[in-house]
Amino acid sequence: MVAMSVSDRAGLPRVLSLAQPTADSLHLGNFLGALRQWVPLQDDHDAFYGVADLHALTVEAEPAVRVDRSLRSAAQMLAAGVDPQRSTVFLQSHVPEHTQLMWVLATMTGFGQASRMTQFKDKSARFGADATNVGLFTYPVLMAADILLYQADRVPVGEDQRQHLELTRDLAVRFNGRHGTTFVVPEPHILPSVGRIADLADPSAKMSKTSSSPSGIVELLDEPKVNIKKIRSAVTDSEREIEFDEERKPGVANLLTILSALTGTSVEVLVKELAGRGYGDLKGAVADAVTAFATPYRERTLELMGERTELQAILADGADRARAVASATVAEVYRKIGLVQPRI
Ligand code: AMP
């Protein structure tokens, strides 16, 4: 296929997805659940991929750490295969229209509906009301703005974002109903097989930057030997057979899911190939597959981090392209809801 440049992309369906820079590295769940889908979608979509640095403000961090994490996240997107010649890669904070649209959408979101968001309920229950900021509560509304600004047709995300996508769709339909067709109503692009990669140490929980213990999370920029050790210590069960049963054997099912996603071999074939072997063999195969993919990924990310001027130039160019789309959406929204235009 001949690569298309950004200027040739008009008319293609739009895709948008962001990832938060809330840790020093993206983890295996981010990669398999979201980032890996981003790469092939570039072939036949006008893609917008961003670093959600405004969402990340809901989690405390030193300013210098934030800068490093944001650039690392962008570098990891490129290392995973996002091509800035074809896709628009940007930092959310470089496009002020995200917060402008968020405010409008916030005034259309019922307090009851926002209160039902399970991610907020889980996090606020875990941290307590005093340690929970209002930004965390309004996070799904900012996410709706992220998506609707770009008139995205599809949003490749993990299963944990399904409810937020539903809110986004509701808001788009509500706005269109009140003010005439304005927003594309986006479809989630969630792959059931990899939509929820589990924590290695607690397979009943999802792998998460903010809640997994260090032993439960595969940080892609860690030294390969660190991740090999974690995979070899992954929690399984007291049985011996390698079978895919998410209810009875969630740890083994998670390892099979990871291995299948990284090798492209179906779970059924893997189960046959591993028949009669032990959990140690399965863990060894997963460790090899993760190392084979993460080693060049890590090297490329570190290389890109050493080319900061080029990296920032890619992001500045991405911000210009993102703003061209986002500012047109906000202008239309402002006009339709009755905000006076600055010039006649
Ligand atoms: P975040 O930066 O936390 O919003 O995550 C970035 C992307 O990774 C989102 O699309 C999430 O839905 C996805 N994601 C996060 N954790 C997991 C997981 N454990 N399994 C699959 N996808 C995930």
Residue with the nearest Cα to atom 10 of ligand 1? 157
Task: Check residue 26 and give left, alpha or beta (phi > 0: left; psi -120 to 50: alpha).
Answer: beta
pLDDT over 60 at 128, yes or no? yes
Band (18; pLDDT cuts 50, 70, 90): very high
Clarify whether 209 is annotated catalytic: yes
Annotated catalytic residue: which of 206, 230, 249, 283?
206
CATH classification (class only), 6-195+308-337: alpha beta
Active-site position among 209, 230, 249, 283: 209
Residue of the CA atom closest to atom 7 of ligand 1: 30
The partner residues of 91 in beta bridges, in order of sequence, read 51
In SS3 terms, 34-59 reads as HHHHHHHHCCCCEEEEEECCCHHHHC
Q: State the pTM of this model.
A: 0.94
Q: Are 314 and 79 spatial neighbours (Cβ–Cβ below 8 Å)?
A: no
Atom of ligand 1 nearest to the CA of 160: 12
Q: Which two tokens stand for residue 63?
A: 């300013």
What are the tokens at 38?
Answer: 């981003």
Residue 14 makes CB contacts below 8 A (sequence gap 6+) with 45, 46, 47, 48, 150, 151, 152, 153, 154, 184
Q: What percent of the chain has pLDDT over 70?
A: 98
pLDDT digits over 191-212, tens only?
Answer: 988 889 999 999 999 999 888 8
What CATH number belongs to 214-301? 1.10.240.10
pLDDT category of residue 344 using cuts at 50, 70 and 90: confident
Per DSSP, the three-state class of 96 is coil
Sorted by sequence, the CB contacts under 8 Å of residue 13 that are 6+ apart come out as: 44, 45, 46, 153, 154
CA of residue 263 to ligand 1 center, whole Å: 20
- Looking at ligand 1, which atom is closest to the CA of residue 19? 2
pLDDT higher than 50, residue 1: no
Of all atoms in ligand 1, which is nearest to the CA of residue 198?
19
Q: What is the CA radius of gyration of the chain?
A: 21
Q: Whose CA is nearest to atom 18 of ligand 1?
A: 29
Q: Where are the domains of the chain?
A: 6-195+308-337, 214-301
Q: How far is the CA of 303 from the centre of ligand 1 (A)?
A: 25
* Both tokens assigned to 110: 């019922």
- Residue 206 is among the residues annotated as catalytic for this protein: yes
Q: Is the CB of 34 inside a 6 Å radius of any atom of ligand 1?
A: yes
Do the domains spanning 6-195+308-337 and 214-301 agree at the CATH topology level? no
Report the alpha-carbon distance of residue 204 to residue 97 in Å, rounded. Answer: 38
In short, whether 286's Cβ falls inside 6 Å of ligand 1 is no
Residue 4 banded pLDDT, cuts 50, 70, 90: low
Summarize pLDDT for 86-101 with one digit per residue, the tens.
999 999 999 999 999 9
Rounded Cα distance between 94 and 181, Å, is 27
Closest CA to 94 of 317, 307, 305: 317
Reduced to 3 states (helix: H, G, I; strand: E, B; else coil), residue 318 is helix
All residues at 6 or more sequence positions from 277 whose CB lies less than 8 Å from its CB, including other chains: 242
Dist CA 131 CA 210 (whole Å): 14
Cα-to-centroid distance, 196 and ligand 1 (Å): 8
Which residue type sits at 93? S
